[in-house]
Structure 1
C-alpha cells in the first residue's frame, strides 16, 4: 500500500510546526553587515586601485619569478 500526504503551508508555518528556531533577525543582521562591508570596500575594486595593487608587486615579483624559473631550469637540466 502506498500513501501520499500533501501539506500546503508557508515556510514560516513549517518552521514553527517542526520547532525550528526563528533566525530571521540574525539573517537580517548578517545581510546588513555584509552590505556595509561591501559598500566600504567598493573603492578597492575600482580599476585604478586594482592596477595600483598589481603594480606594487612590480619588479620584485618579476625578479622572484625569474629566480624560480632559473632554479627550475637548473634542476631539469642534465648533470654533466
Structure 2
C-alpha cells in the first residue's frame, strides 16, 4: 500500500513540529558580524592602499630576485673558473 500526505506549513511551523532549535538569533548575530568585517576589509581595499601594498610586495620580490640571480651568477662563475693544480 502506498499513500501520500501533503502538509502545508511555514518553515517555522515545520521546525517547531520536528523539535529543532530556533537559531535565528545566532544567525542574525553572525550575519551582523560578517557585515562589520566586510565593511572593515572594504575600507582597506581602497585603490591607494591596494597599490601601495602591491608596490611594496613587488619591490620585495624584485630585491629577492636580484639577490638570487647575483648569487647564482657568482656561484656559476666560480664553478667555471679554472682550478689551480696542487
Provide TM-score, normalisation by structure 1.
0.71
How many residues of Structure 1 are paired with residues of Structure 2 in the alignment? 69
The aligned counterpart of 2:62 is 62
Q: What is the root-mean-square deviation of aligned Cα atoms in Å?
A: 2.1
Q: CA deviation at 1:56?
A: 1.0
User: 2-side partners of 1:28 and 1:65: how far apart?
Assistant: 48
Bigger radius of gyration among the two: 2
Q: CA deviation at 1:62?
A: 2.3
Structure 1: give runs of 5+ residues left out of the alignment. Answer: 72-80
Equivalent position SS for 2:43: helix
- Structure 1 segments, 4+ long, off by >2 Å, are 62-68
The aligned counterpart of 1:47 is 47
Provide TM-score, normalisation by structure 2.
0.66
1:2 and 2:31 matched: no
